[in-house]
Amino acid sequence: MSGLGEVDSDDLIYHMPPFPELDKVRLRNYITGFHRAFPTPPSAWMNWSSTGT
């Protein structure tokens, strides 16, 4: 996640209810954990053509 440090300021506070406010370090850890839990994008494992939509 080196890109997060290059884009956002050091005093970044990310707020998205219902999650607690995250500073840059906690946001980086959240993003890393999320990507570990869901390593592939939804488009890679969802077959939209089989749903009829």
Q: What is the pLDDT along the chain (53 residues), one digit of tens a residue?
A: 456 666 667 788 888 888 789 888 888 898 889 889 988 877 776 666 555 55
Per the confidence metrics, is the pTM higher than 0.75?
Answer: no
Q: What is the pLDDT of residue 7?
A: 64
Output the CA–CA distances (angstroms, integers) from residue 28 to 16, 32, 45, 47, 49, in the order listed.
Answer: 15, 6, 25, 30, 34
- Give the length of the chain: 53
- The predicted pLDDT at position 49 comes to 59
Q: How far is CA 2 from CA 18, 50, 52, in A?
A: 26, 38, 40
User: What pLDDT was estimated at residue 30?
Assistant: 87
According to the model, what pLDDT value does residue 1 have? 45
Could you identify the residue written with the tokens 């089989």? 50
